[in-house]
């Protein structure tokens, strides 16, 4: 996105013109990556614009900040209300992406960030449709390993963590792939550069466990819940690289990517080279949920109009 997404952003409790939302060049987050963020989707339906799992995302924003001992000055409920109001003030009725961000401000060059360090929180919105094009993508296993809890907490959605993902993405794109899969320090499958991963073997879903250096994804959690609702068994466990080549189906889950099939990995064709039956049924169920067509999961949706 090269142009502004909406006329207004929310910044520390105020609705500010996109062009006027500026910060000093000495903010701590710019120099040291001391920021946490979320990615949230809002989906246009026939009668409304629904934000998907808004509160869960904003609660995770607080949890991520707490890992690094800095403070998000606004409660999750306040940020939920601000998000809805920001959509209304921008008169947005099309599907869009929402980016809340909390970052450390003018703290100097001292690395001793604490709950007393100055922080700012902003919410940015812009129109958004599909992240990946088509019904399936090709991926490679990256030579870069996923960050590990012994060095950087992967369960915190911190801005600095994504330098790891930048390296993996650059590598895969140079080599002609759409996305990369990172292994953890033990050589087990962790996640993609911006998504969690599931494989299907013998009709069962398998996904890496939290100790495999993954982000505890909200779309991952959603997928587990709806897969079990549909009668699929979901197993969280370490997954070896070789299992990626033996899987009947593989798919990724994430806010931006939603649910997308992997049809090739390291040149190996997955299944028949098309989106598999399990992936398709879960994806279609998910797509109905986010636009309010599934009564049981309406509690995950926040209407804006």
Per-residue pLDDT of 36-70, as tens digits, reads: 999 999 999 998 999 999 999 999 999 999 999 99
Q: How would you write the pLDDT of the chain (305 residues) with one tens digit per residue?
A: 556 789 999 999 999 999 999 999 999 999 999 999 999 999 999 989 999 999 999 999 999 999 999 999 999 999 999 999 999 999 999 999 999 999 999 999 999 999 999 999 999 999 998 899 888 999 999 999 999 999 999 999 999 999 999 999 999 999 999 999 999 999 999 999 999 999 999 999 999 999 999 999 999 999 999 999 999 999 999 999 999 999 999 999 999 999 999 999 999 999 999 999 999 999 999 999 999 999 999 999 999 99
SS3 209: coil
Distance CA 262, CA 260 (A): 7
Tokens of residue 162, six digits = 């994504």
Spell out the residues 6+ positions from residue 236 whose beta carbon is closer than 8 angstroms to its own.
Answer: 206, 207, 208, 209, 210
Distance CA 4, CA 124 (A): 10
Spell out the residues 6+ positions from residue 131 whose beta carbon is closer than 8 angstroms to its own.
Answer: 254, 256, 257, 258, 260
Q: How many CA atoms lie within 13 A of 167 on its CB side?
A: 12
Active site residue 157: yes
* pLDDT given at position 133: 86
* pLDDT given at position 114: 96
Which residues of the chain are in CATH 3.20.10.10 domains?
Answer: 136-290
* DSSP classification of residue 270: P
Q: Does domain 8-127 have CATH number 3.90.1300.10?
A: no
Spell out the residues 6+ positions from residue 239 whose beta carbon is closer than 8 angstroms to its own.
Answer: 188, 189, 199, 206, 207, 208, 212
* pLDDT, tens digit (0-9, with 9 covering 90-100), for 130-168: 899 888 999 999 999 999 999 999 999 999 999 999 999
Q: Name the H helices within the chain.
A: 28-32, 54-67, 76-89, 162-174, 218-229, 241-246, 277-290
Contacts 24+ apart (CB under 8 A), 266-269: 266/139, 266/140, 266/141, 268/244
Q: How many CA atoms lie within 13 A of 304 on its CB side?
A: 29
Catalytic member of 63, 115, 130, 157: 157
Nearest Cα neighbor of 254 from 302, 207, 295 is 207
Pick the CATH number of 136-290 from 3.40.50.300, 3.40.50.720, 3.40.190.10, 3.20.10.10: 3.20.10.10
Contact between 102 and 85 (Cβ < 8 Å): no
Rounded to two decimals, the pTM is 0.96
Which residues of the chain are in CATH 3.30.470.10 domains?
Answer: 8-127
CB atoms within 10 A of CB 269: 12
């Amino acid at each position: 996105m090269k142009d502004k997404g909406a006329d207004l952003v929310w910044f520390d409790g105020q609705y500010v013109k996109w062009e006027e939302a500026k910060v000093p060049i000495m903010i701590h987050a710019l120099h040291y990556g001391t920021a946490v963020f979320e990615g949230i989707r809002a989906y246009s339906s026939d009668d409304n614009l629904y934000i998907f799992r808004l509160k869960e995302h904003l609660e995770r924003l607080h949890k991520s900040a707490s890992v690094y001992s800095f403070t998000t000055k606004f409660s999750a409920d306040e940020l939920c209300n601000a998000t809805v109001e920001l959509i209304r003030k921008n008169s947005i009725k099309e599907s869009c992406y929402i980016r809340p961000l909390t970052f450390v401000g003018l703290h100097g060059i001292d690395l001793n960030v604490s709950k007393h360090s100055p922080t700012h929180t902003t919410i940015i919105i812009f129109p958004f449709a599909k992240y990946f094009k088509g019904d399936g993508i090709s991926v490679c296993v990256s030579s870069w390993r996923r960050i590990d809890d012994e060095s950087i907490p992967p369960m915190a959605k911190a801005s600095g963590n994504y330098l790891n993902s930048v390296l993996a993405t650059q590598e895969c794109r140079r080599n002609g792939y759409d996305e990369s899969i990172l292994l953890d320090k033990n050589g087990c499958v962790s996640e993609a550069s911006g998504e969690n991963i599931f494989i299907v073997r013998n009709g069962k879903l398998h996904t890496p466990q939290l100790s495999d250096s993954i982000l505890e994804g909200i779309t991952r959690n959603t997928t587990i819940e709806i897969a079990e609702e549909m009668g699929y068994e979901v197993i969280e466990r370490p997954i070896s690289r070789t299992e990626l080549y033996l899987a009947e189906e593989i798919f990724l889950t994430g806010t931006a990517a939603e649910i997308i099939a992997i049809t090739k990995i390291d040149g190996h064709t997955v299944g028949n080279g098309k989106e598999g039956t399990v992936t398709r049924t879960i994806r279609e169920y998910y797509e109905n949920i986010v636009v309010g067509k599934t009564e049981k999961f309406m509690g995950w949706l926040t209407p804006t109009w």
